[in-house]
Amino acid sequence: MKDHLYLFLFMIHFSTGCILSDEKQTKEISGYTGGSVVLPCSCADPQSTAKTFTWQFHRSGKQWIQVFEDENYRGRLVLFNESSPQNLSLLISELRMEDQGYYMCKTEQRSSTSILLTVKGCNLVQNTKPNAVTGYAGESVVLPCSCTELLAKPEQIQWMYSVKNTYLEIYPNEKIESHKNRVKLLNQTTPGNLSLHISALTAEDQGDYYCSVSSQKVFYRLHVEEKPHISTPISLSTHQPSHQTRELTPTQQSHHTPRQSHHTPQYVFILLGVILSVLLLTLLAFIYWRCRGGRNVKKVTSNEELKGEQDNPDDVTYSAVVHVKTASTPAHTESNPSEHTEYAPIKVKR
């Protein structure tokens, strides 16, 4: 009996099919042009599956259409139900402004859920100040241009340059020979950054430019000036040298040679300074050691001499000193005066 009850409940469950979660509710989701967005839709019961389901789209003023039958969505739609049967979500890539509107996920059980998709496009930032940019010949310059939403990628971007009062495209199609291989967008990783980078500036690059997205335009005027000569720089120009050369006098060659030599890296001077400091300290230490060693030698010699004198007393040599006694008066004079001999020591140092 119990087995029959389980079988009956299973048949009822299977017959009901997929009942969508958030049924008859409208969700709001936003995306950016050029990006992707997922429109969620799934069965409320994870064990149930939908035999059939559809995704429909409704734009203001138009009827509901099947998104998989519309050419505008070709190659831009992905479903998740193959890996997860209860997951009926829809992925839309490379969003466009025309994708904005109401979407409906609907199953065979007439269960449905609605989603309002808002697509944010690129609105160019308009500068309040005059858009004048100055660059220097031989260097690079950036002409700024960006969307108010940096995550919004414009469907089409153009950079134009005025030649004889006529604007010609220099990006993405380089239709001017002088700009070829010298222009690119500054940052490819941020979709809304449309700034233009121009390298190896020349006087011919000076003029009027504008950045264009749909019907929006931002104008710039580029001034190219010669770089101030604070010191003679090393030429980094990639242009071929002129075939016309002139001989230099010895004096000019002596002044010209240092310009062609490379600058010595700063770390070389630091290393030389450290080496000289070490040598100077070594020399001072050596002189100090010699002076102190000389004093110690003299001190030791004096101590040894003093100790020798104490341990070995000087030899004494006695010499005879004869004292002759004479009479005070002639009357007392004796023919042989008495003689008295004394010995006085004489110190002889060996």
Provide DSSP, 299-345. HHHHHHHHHHHHHSPPPEEEEEEEEEP--SSGGG--SS--EEEEEEE
Alpha helices in 56-163 (DSSP H): none
Q: What topology does CATH give the domain 2-120?
A: Immunoglobulin-like (2.60.40)
Q: Which of 134-143, 187-196, 244-253, 313-322 has the highest mean pLDDT?
A: 134-143
- Residues linked to residue 22 through DSSP beta bridges, in sequence order: none
Rounded distance between C-alpha atoms, residue 79 and residue 90, angstroms: 5
Instruction: Read off the pLDDT of each residue in 334-349 and give the average, rounded to a whole number.
Output: 47
CA 208 to chain centre: 33
Q: What is the pLDDT of residues 146-195, one digit of tens each?
A: 999 999 999 889 999 998 889 999 999 888 888 889 999 987 788 999 99
Per-residue pLDDT at 259: 46
Instruction: Read off the pLDDT of each residue in 117-134 and give the average, rounded to a whole number.
Output: 87
> Domains of the chain: which residue ranges?
2-120, 132-225
Rounded distance between C-alpha atoms, residue 148 and residue 21, angstroms: 36
Rounded distance between C-alpha atoms, residue 232 and residue 251, angstroms: 17
Q: What is the pLDDT of residues 2-17, one digit of tens each?
A: 444 444 344 444 445 7
Q: Which residue has the higher pLDDT, 267 or 38?
A: 38
2-120 and 132-225 in the same fold:
yes
Is pTM beyond 0.95? Reply is: no
Q: What topology does CATH give the domain 132-225?
A: Immunoglobulin-like (2.60.40)
- Residues linked to residue 184 through DSSP beta bridges, in sequence order: 197
Q: Are 191 and 209 in contact (CB under 8 A)?
A: no
CA 350 vs CA 299, 304, 314, 317, 343: distances in Å: 22, 15, 7, 12, 21
Q: What is the pLDDT of residues 67-80, one digit of tens each?
A: 999 999 999 999 98
Q: Are 148 and 123 in contact (CB under 8 A)?
A: yes
pLDDT band at 99 (very low <50, low <70, confident <90, very high): very high
Q: Which residue has the higher pLDDT, 266 or 269?
A: 269
CA angle 19, 22, 24 (to 5 degrees): 85
